[in-house]
Amino acid sequence: MADLTGKTALITGSVQGIGLSVAEEMAGAGARIAVHGLAGDAQIEEVCTRLKGLGAPQAEFFHGDLRDPAQITHLMQAVADWGGADILVNNAGIQHTAPLSDMPHETWEAIIAVNLSAAFYTMQAALPVMAERGYGRVINIASVQGLIGSVNKAPYVAAKHGIVGLSKVAALEYAAVGSRESGGVTVNCICPGWTETTLIGPQIDARAQEIGDDRDAAVADLLKEKQPSLRLSDPAEIGALALWLCDPLAHNVTGTAIPVDGGWTTQ
């Protein structure tokens, strides 16, 4: 396990789901956690308390609407004043399904802003500081939709393809920074397939009712068209991969888009 003692990780969308699991793994490795997301005061307090209980020496919440570049600038400055991000995980995202011909313009703009443009702005602020330190990690949560197409998801697929391309450019620009000993500066994407989060719970329940069977059978039936393993990933598995990418031994793993998809994109 990577030792992140003395490191600070900013994880967008880290109050639930995959983002929270990434935060938990990094807290367990000793990182300070800059928490971000959409949540009320009670949830924020609960998350920060949990992360400190897992081993984070500090866990604080930072506000910032990712649709607004000015707020992102404020967010990144606040984190810089807190010590700066050695690790940046762009996890926050929004989704809306509709045919391309019916996709509202404002929905396109919002999804591109949160899922792609926000990552550009956070990376633009964080990477030069990482380069000065000789160590830095950017991990962008891209989804299998960054590697394939899917109907009724034009802005989401466009944004996720875009973040894979953006990550490749940044990886090349910072590839020679640092050393094996310092860990270098790397930029990678993780591309999850079907993952066990609260967002897919209703889909599983609906499929179970539809086929008249138990939850495991419903999951297999739901996944059979896409994910050959017929198994969901646990968010903690994504967190564990993110943590491994932070280890200095991963200094030469950069510019990748790593699927965690049970063989989905292999087909």
Report residue 41 as tokens: 């005061």
Report residue 253 as tokens: 């793993």
Catalytic-residue membership of 174: no
Sign (positive/negative) of CA torsion 145, 11, 47, 70? negative
The single residue of 121, 135, 156, 174 carrying the catalytic annotation is 156
Which H or E run includes 258? strand 257-260
Whole-number Å distance between alpha carbons of 241 and 151: 29
Q: What is the DSSP string of 24-81?
A: HHHHHTT-EEEE-SS--HHHHHHHHHHHHHHT-S-EEE----TT-HHHHHHHHHHHHH
Within 8 A by CB and 6+ apart from 226, the residues are 193, 194, 264
Query: Which residue is listed with tokens 């292999």?
Result: 266
Task: Determine contact, residues 200/215, Cβ cutoff 8 Å.
Answer: no
Among all residues, which ones are annotated catalytic? 156
